[in-house]
Structure 1
Amino acid sequence: MNEANFQPLVSVMINNYNYGRFLSEAIDSVLNQTYPNIEIIVVDDGSTDNSPEVIAQYQDKVIPILKENGGQASAFNAGFKATHGEIICMLDADDVFVPEKVTKIVGIFNQYPDIGWCFHRLRFVDAKTGDYIKLSRESGTRKCDFRSQLKNNGRLRFYAPATSGLCFGRSLLQQILPMPEVIRITSDNYLKIVAAALSEGYFLDEQLAFLRIHGNNNYTERPNNQPLVAKIAILTASNLRNNWPFLAKYANELFSYGRGIAQKSSDSVKELTPMIDSYLSHTSLWEKLEISLRSLYFRLKP
């Protein structure tokens, strides 16, 4: 992908669960791209609403994957199996792309053939009115290389966007997927961390997708759901450490955060105790001490 005018096939993976009321707008936003060489894979994760009927209306314009409910990670795995593109862009079914998105993403991969991922900023909008709410946190267009700091320091000072802002080169994504399906929601966190640990990338400070807030988002804009935050952090940390041992320092930091959040609620600790004990059983005495101190910090942090 090093020729300026090269137009590789781009696969857009739309993952959907009971978002039939939004799904047409998501699919249409991909069909209306200015870039000509796109395939659309729509993965329906066992929806019980009208999603299958919505997908059927598009006939041969999309590649449908209708599966039993298994969570977002399973949808990522199933969708990727059906892709053929050299670049894979992800889209949540309740979000939409701007028309120029894929053209701009392909341009970045053509300009920087050594990168494995390209993430971009998201614009948060009200799903009913379209009114602006805010922008995703990370800013500043630049090439990125976090591999050393993730391995050696266990830190990542980079706030990657949610699913609809993620794009990957095929050669990188096939190293990561299939991913553990036990991470049923917010599975994109695992993808972002592993991608940043394995390859150079690029952050584009342009709002190329709208993340729509509608009250039923499972995770986005729900900072008070601390038990869920803790569970996702612990699950992600455990699977990072198991599958990518060189990320142990980062996994320990993430685990400490999840454990500290869980300790604020006795109910959370009780539910997560088996996962916490399992994780700690694979750490050294020194790691246990560090994790205990970091967990206490996150527990006491306002």
Structure 2
Amino acid sequence: MDKNSLVSILINNYNYGNFIAEAIDSALNQNYPEIEVIVVDDGSTDNSREIIASYGDRIKPILKKNGGQASAFNAGFAASTGDFICFLDSDDLFKVDKVTAVVNAFQQDKTIGWYFHTLELFGSQLDQKELDSVSSELSGIYDLRPYILRGKLRGSLPFEVNIATSGTCCRRSLLERILPMSEETRITSDDYIKYAALGISKGFISFQPLARQRIHGNNAYTLTPGIEKLRAKTQILTACQLKEKFPELSKFSNNLVAMGISIYWKIGSIEAATQKLLNTYMSTINYLEKAKIYTKVVYYRFIRHRLNTFGFKK
């Protein structure tokens, strides 16, 4: 392993003063020595900035007005200098050997652009039901570009895998193609980064949980009740960004739009700002594409739901 490769750990924070010190400590305590820790505070109104200041020059702080997670990602990446970038939510923790594992994988295969890994859930608000797990023997290099180009991702792997922000790592050269991103998506902005990465590069999926995701009852997304409207909005926003920056992935972005619309059909309402975005998106595609999108909407809303209800997985 090239010990000279610098790794940037980007921590994004908003009002998580109760947790941020643990997140920073987990980044600083990595057993890989060449790291820089960049903490972006997105206009917190609690004691977060006092805690960040207490670390002095051990970290690189960026204190900005509130603009959402996408703006924090943009600011953190712009300030970074590392060859590899690891994202960390301020309520999560890296395990001590996380960065070493990531660098090893990137150094062993110079052609992979991303490294995604699973997370171990913990916290007082965690339902003790075991989530589905996948054998670590399935860890390895995956090239999902052919599936994304055809507009598909579901079914491209022999298992289901959900990757959160704190399980996302990329080469700098790949992120330079993806960022900066639109700052309209205020949370779950990592969806755009992950889908873009999958569509333009092969990478490594690890089923070793190299980070811990805290479930504390105030999570912005994971295991949060009533999340459907946010999921629908995020899918449409992500689709708009993908189509604008990577038009070759339009089949995939069209499918994201269809999934978003199907959720809005289910819940019965759509925000005016999201409707405006959707109208703009639809104005850029032809009638055949629109017909395919609404065919997918009907399938997602009515047919697939019924297949799943009766025990069929499609």
Same fold, TM-score > 0.5, yes or no: yes
- Establish whether residue 144 from structure 1 lines up as the match of residue 142 from structure 2: yes
Aligned pairs (5 A) from 1:124-273: 124-126=121-123, 128=124, 134=130, 140-151=138-149, 153-156=150-153, 157=156, 159-222=161-224, 224-268=226-270, 272-273=274-275
Aligned-residue Cα RMSD (Å) equals 1.9
Matched, 1:118 2:115: yes
Question: Size of the alignment, in residue pairs?
Answer: 297
- Alpha-carbon distance in 1 for matches of 2:195, 2:84: 18
**Aligned-partner residue type, residue 227 of structure 1:** K
What secondary structure does 1:206 align onto? strand
Structure 1 residue 282 corresponds to structure 2 residue 281: no
Contiguous gaps of at least 5 residues in structure 2 = 307-314
> What is the distance in 2 between the residues matched to 1:103 and 1:56?
27
Aligned to 2:295: 293
C-alpha separation in 1, matches of 2:129 and 2:6: 33
What one-letter code is carried by the residue in structure 1 that aligns with 2:220?
Answer: N
Change (3 A) 1:284 1:177: same
1:17-58 superposed Cα distances (whole Å, 9 cap, x missing partner): 111100000000011111111110000000111110010010
Partners of 1:74 and 1:32 in 2: CA distance: 27
Matches within 5 A, 1:87-126: 87-126=84-123
Greater mean deviation of Cα atoms: 131-140 or 172-181: 131-140
Distance 1:28 1:39 in 2: 12
Report the TM-score, using the length of structure 1 for normalisation.
0.93
Q: Which whole-Å CA distance do the structure 2 matches of 1:225 and 1:261 have between them?
A: 11
Amino acid corresponding to residue 148 of structure 2 in structure 1: L
Tell me which amino acid in the other structure corresponds to 2:243.
Answer: R
Deviations 1:119-156 (A, max 9, x none): 11111111x488976558666201011122211x1112
Find out whether 1:45 has 2:42 as its counterpart: yes
Which residue pairs with 2:57 in the alignment?
A: 60
2:7 aligned partner? 10
Question: Residue 69 of structure 1: which of 66, 71, 95 is its match?
Answer: 66
Report if aligned partners of 1:136, 1:161 keep a CA contact under 8 Å in 2.
Answer: no
In structure 2, the CA distance between the partners of 1:85 and 1:105, relative to structure 1 (3 Å rule), is same
Q: How far apart in 2 are the matches of 1:198 and 1:295?
A: 26
Answer yes or no: is the 8 Å Cα contact 1:138–1:161 preserved in 2: no
Q: Aligned partners of 2:265, 2:148: CA distance in 1, in Å?
A: 26
Q: Helix, strand or coil: the match of 1:202?
A: strand
In structure 2, the residue corresponding to 1:148 is in which secondary structure? Answer: helix
Deviation at 1:217, TM superposition (A): 0.9
Q: Structure 1 CA distance, aligned partners of 2:126 and 2:265? A: 38
Q: Percent identity?
A: 47
Cα offset, 1:160, TM superposition: 4.6
More divergent stretch after superposition (132-141 vs 190-199): 132-141
| Runs of at least 5 residues in structure 1 that lack an aligned partner in the other structure | none
